[in-house]
Amino acid sequence: MSRYVLRYSGNQPRHNGESGVDTAAVAARAGARVIDDAPDMLLVEANSNVARKLTHLLPEWQVCAETVTPLPRVPRPAIRAAARRSSR
């Protein structure tokens, strides 16, 4: 199963879920497992068929596959040889 991010892209402002549609419940009924819920965004775990079904059930929401960007490796600072000799 893959993870998908659902973002609200409608014209009506949504404040604290005032639209009358419980998006998390619609996603759960479609067969997706809701992992995280925010007023204008959902993170769900589902297969691609369920994700396509969600695009039809929630036309004002964009469904995108979750992407994970790894943190870059940060080089560790090295102690210079000159600094070691001066402290002795």
CA atoms within a 13 Å half-sphere pointing along the CA-CB vector of 73: 3
pLDDT digits (tens, 9 = 90+) for 27-68: 999 999 999 998 889 999 999 999 999 999 999 999 999 999
* CATH of region 2-67, choose from 1.10.3470, 1.10.1740, 3.30.450, 3.30.70: 3.30.70
pLDDT digits (tens, 9 = 90+) for 63-79: 999 999 999 998 888 87
Q: What is the pLDDT of residue 79?
A: 79
Pairing of strands 2-8, 33-38: unpaired
pTM of the model: 0.71
Residue 66's nearest CA partner among 80, 53, 51 is 51
Q: Is 26 left (phi over 0), alpha (psi -120 to 50) or beta?
A: alpha
